[in-house]
Copies of this chain bind each other. A is one copy, B any other.
Amino acid sequence: MSNTFGNILRLTTFGESHGKAIGGIIDGYPPNIIIDSEFIQSELNKRKPNNSEISTQRKENDKVEILSGIFENKSLGTPIGFIIPNYDIKSTDYKNLKNLYRPGHADFTYQKKYGIRDYRGGGRSSARETANWVVAGAFAKIMIKKYNIQVNAYTKQIGNLKFEKHYTEIDLDKTYSYSTRCPDNEQNKLFEQEILNAKKNQDSVGGIVSCIVKNTPVGIGEPVFDKMQAQLAKAVMSINACKGFEIGQGFNAASLNGSYFNDEIFKENNKILFKSNNSGGVLGGITTGQDIIINAAFKPTSSIEKEQQTIDNQGNNIKFKISGRHDPCVVPRAVIVVESVVAMVIADFILMNNEFSL
């Protein structure tokens, strides 16, 4: 359960942040799909800390090695095993954290659940795990591209700053040219400044990622417990630091009337169309064919340089500071992770749907 995601297309992962390697197995991937391994690596590169000041200084190679499931550049239909070795390990950074529970981190809960933990870099609870998800998401993207489906995420809010442009007004293909993953020159600068302010204050800041799925086929999703929105919520809420999920109007729907909210249907030029997209592309857990629109809220990075109060594993109250290498805001690096898990969900639902199976 815990370390597997998906129904037909399933990712199972392993790995502690400072162990030998992290990695995973992608099962259920269809055969005979041409795999461009450079694309897989380029996706993973989007998750790497970039060289700007807004990122951690930890410099991992993050090079994925695919061990099986591909033969002469095509998928075999057999499981795709892969590993991402851990190279730049400075476990010394963590020695002084060995015996204490960092607030906001999973140190305390892992210790209580398992009675043991790999304290180095958060061990299994590290967001480094999401590198595995990006690999799987890259494979999913290759698959769903056969249906012309596109998944694009971008940064929509950092701290109190909101990017107000509608997604149809921006160039979603440019997202990764911008340090904060907001494809708008001016907004990117504002977001960057907001993050630097937090950093300067030895603090961190949260934000919101928006994700759009275009060209979704009509009729995928499941009707009761694995509704499209439920599975997307589960996937996105699995991402480290994610605290909220919404689809379509989301929380805003609470204050709306049905006469406004209902997306009326009409036919024009022999095409079925909707007058609006308040539902965010789903009805009854199944896709309408409109764009899927979701938002994910992220909390501020838990690791901050400011002094904090906590206890050690003997129960002593202590004050401490974190001096490791950390991002002052997780949002820019979370963008590709959101895209990846969403792509995995979409690919999985396509495989669950007879009409759309390859």
Complex: how many Å from CA A341 to CA B240?
23
Question: 1/0 per residue A313-346: CB within 8 Å of B?
Answer: 0011100000000000000000000000000000
Q: A156 to B125, alpha carbons, bound, how many Å?
A: 33
Scoring A117, A226, A257, A304 by chain B CB atoms within 10 A of each residue's CB, the highest score goes to A257
CA distance A157 to B247 in the complex (A): 18
User: Could you say which of B20, B28, B219, B220 contacts A67, with CB atoms under 8 Å apart?
Assistant: B20
Chain B residues in 8 Å Cβ range of A262: 103-104, 302, 304, 308
Contacts of A115 in B (CB 8 A): 31-32
Q: Are A284 and B244 in contact (CB under 8 A)?
A: no
Chain B residues within 8 Å of A19, by CB: 67-68, 71
Contacts A67-B21, A117-B76; A105 near B283 (Cβ below 8 A): yes
Proximity string of chain A (6-33) to chain B, C-beta cutoff 8 Å, 1 when within and 0 when not = 0100101111100111111101101110
Which residues of chain B have C-beta atoms less than 8 A from A234's C-beta?
A: 225, 230-231, 233-234, 237
Whether a CB of chain B sits under 8 angstroms from the CB of A184 is: no
B68 touching A258, Cβ below 8 Å: no
If A112-B218, A123-B78 touch, does A310 touch B101 (CB 8 Å cutoff)? no
Cβ contacts A87-111/B at 8 Å (1 or 0 each):
0000000000000010111101110
Q: Are A288 and B32 in contact (CB under 8 A)?
A: no
A200–B225 Cα gap in the complex (Å)? 34
CB distance B65 to A257 under 8 Å? no
With both chains docked as a complex, state the minimum distance between the C-beta of A89 and any C-beta of chain B, in angstroms.
Answer: 13
Please report the C-alpha to C-alpha distance between residue A303 and residue B261 in the assembled complex, in whole angstroms. Answer: 11
Among the listed B117, B227, B265, which residue makes an inter-chain contact with A237, where contact means beta carbons less than 8 Å apart?
B227
The contact string, 1 if C-beta is below 8 Å from chain B, for chain A 253-269, is: 11111111111111100
**Min C-beta distance of A126 to chain B, whole Å:** 10
Residues in B whose Cβ lies below 8 Å from that of A83:
67, 81, 83
Contact A15 B81 (CB under 8 A): yes
* 19 pairs from A and B in contact (CB 8 Å cutoff): A1-B7, A2-B226, A14-B78, A14-B81, A78-B114, A81-B83, A158-B254, A159-B255, A224-B238, A225-B238, A230-B235, A233-B233, A234-B237, A243-B249, A258-B303, A259-B308, A266-B311, A267-B311, A357-B357
Q: A14-B78, A113-B355, A262-B302 are in contact. List 6 more A-B contacts (CB 8 A).
A: A13-B224, A15-B67, A20-B68, A25-B25, A203-B259, A265-B310
